Structures are given as C-alpha cells and as structure tokens.
Amino acid sequence: MRSTSPSRRFALQGLGALALAPSSVWPAVGGLPSATHDAWSPEWQQLSERLFPGRQLVAGQGTVQLIAPLRAAYGASVPVKVVSKLPQRPELHVRKLYLVVDKNPSPLAAVLDLSTEVGQADFETRLRVDEYSHVRVVSELSNGELHTDARYVKTSGGCTAPPNRDALHLIGRTQVKVAGELRMNEPTAADVTVVHPNDTGFELNQVTVMYIPPHFVRSINVSFAQRKVFDAELDFSVSENPTLRFNFVPHGRGELRAEVTDSKDAHFVGTLAIG
C-alpha cells in the first residue's frame, strides 16, 4: 500500500493555509456572470505559482475540458467531469490531472497520476465548493506541457454542510463496478465508490455544537491485473462517499482493484473480477 509522501502533505497544508490567508484586496466575485474558460482569479495566481513554478499553462479546451454546472443542487456535491481530447498513447499521454477549487479552504482537491492503462483520461467526480469559485483542471502531458480549463461555479457551504450520518457503520466499503459495456482492449468506463463521510473539519455537529474533526479519503490507487491504472491523491474537497468514474483498458481476464487509504490511515480494498 502506498502512502502520501510527507512533502506532498506539506504542500497541501501550505496551499490550504494560503487559501485561508485574508485577501482584502479583491472584492467578492459573487454576482458576476459565468466566467470564460480561461478566467483568472487572485487565488489561482498564487496557487498556480506554488503548484507549477515557472511553467507556462495553456488555457483553452483544445486538450482538456472541464464540465461543471454554473449552479449545483448542493454545494457539497458539485458534479465535475474532465474530458481529455487526446488518447492515452505511450508517445503522448496525460500524465497527471489536477483538480482545483480556487476558494476552498483546501483548494487542491485531487491529483491523479495516470498510466496509459486508462486508455482515455476522462474522469468524473463530485466536489465540495465552499463559495462562488472557479473550479479548474490542469492536465500535465507526458511531454511536460500543462493545459488548463476552468468553470465558474456559483454555490456555497460545500465544506460546512451538515454531513450525512446514515451509514457510519459502512465506512470504508469500497465498490468497484463497470459503468457500461465491458469492451476488451478498449477504454471501458468504471466507477470506484468509497462509503466515507469525507469530513472537512469545518462541519458543525448540530447536537454537540462542536466541529467534527477532519476525516477523509486521502488516496485511491486503482490497478487492473496488477498493473497501475491510476493513483489518486485526494482531499476533503471531494464530496462525501468519494466516487471516481474512470476508464481502463481490459486486455483479458484480471482483477480491477482499488486500494483506499484515509486520513486516519485506515485501509480499504474493493475488487471486481473482469473477464
């Protein structure tokens, strides 16, 4: 089982602190119309310099596209979809995907480290969005290029919404399933879902009036037939019961396996026999 490196944890903490720093210079964005895909924000200016120092980011939807609603039903569960415009080939492929919510207390929601075994680097998940904010994806290609796309999402309270406490006894139950038709040697959609409150640390227990300590899924590593498909490092900006829809290329019989670690170092495993 792989664990989060101390340096990455440090980086995440640093980014969280950065986002929490007071920003009195900029007016609230609330009320502005939907931003264009390459919209800038002061938070992103700082975040991008920390995450990708000295590197150029190409904005646009030619290589990667982020699909998210302008308004979602609930801020604690905003559906986002990443669509990659190039197939995963050894000569050029998506190496990493970064999901960022500019104004969240911890803006770096997920970092996905991909292999060519995903076939097609499309992902879907649900994120917490705490206030009116840009949601972004950065796609890092194997040649080092960085491409980015963003959507402006109008919602609030995503990190402080009362959590769903209906299934505490099921925490860690990890389900892997094929999402559509199983196609050999072609990208096939699959879902991994972990039953987990993904507590942010900003939610108030309505009975005790105490804050619920953070407790969230930190990583999901998915393999097929013992070959890495992707490793995801996650944060509490991912909604409760974290779900990732991804692709993998089944070359024959094998086990689709998801290994999960949470912030209390609990480990969970979900598997699905393919073929």
Which residues in this chain contact other proteins in the complex, by CB under 8 A?
A: 30-31, 33-34, 69-74, 77, 132, 154-156, 164
Min. distance of Cβ 28 from other proteins in angstroms? 11
Min. distance of Cβ 70 from other proteins in angstroms? 5
Min. distance of Cβ 79 from other proteins in angstroms? 9
Q: What is the DSSP string of 142-183?
A: TTS-EEEEEEEE----TTTSPPP-TTGGGTT-EEEEE-S---
The residues that bridge with 192 in the sheet, in sequence order, are: 176, 244
Comparison of 237 and 239: residue with beta carbon closer to other proteins: 239
Assess contact for 254 and 130: CB atoms under 8 A: no
Q: Which residue has the tokens 């009320």?
A: 31
Min. distance of Cβ 44 from other proteins in angstroms? 21
Comparison of 71 and 267: residue with beta carbon closer to other proteins: 71
Comparison of 48 and 155: residue with beta carbon closer to other proteins: 155
Min. distance of Cβ 117 from other proteins in angstroms? 32
Comparison of 132 and 224: residue with beta carbon closer to other proteins: 132
Min. distance of Cβ 263 from other proteins in angstroms? 24
Q: Please tell me the distance from the alpha carbon of residue 129 to that of residue 273, in angstroms, as a whole number.
A: 35
Comparison of 202 and 224: residue with beta carbon closer to other proteins: 202
Q: Please tell me the distance from the alpha carbon of residue 111 to that of residue 97, in angstroms, as a whole number.
A: 6
Residues 6 or more apart in contact with residue 231 via CB below 8 angstroms: 2, 112, 113, 219, 220, 221, 222
Comparison of 60 and 69: residue with beta carbon closer to other proteins: 69
Q: Which residue has the tokens 């903490």?
A: 13
H helices within the chain, ranges in order? 6-20, 42-51
Which is it for strands 57-59 and 146-153: parallel, antiparallel or unpaired?
parallel
Comparison of 57 and 67: residue with beta carbon closer to other proteins: 67
Min. distance of Cβ 102 from other proteins in angstroms? 17
Assess contact for 34 and 152: CB atoms under 8 A: yes
Q: What is the CA radius of gyration of the chain?
A: 18
Burial (CB count within 10 angstroms: exposed 0-12, middle 13-18, buried 19+), residue 170: exposed
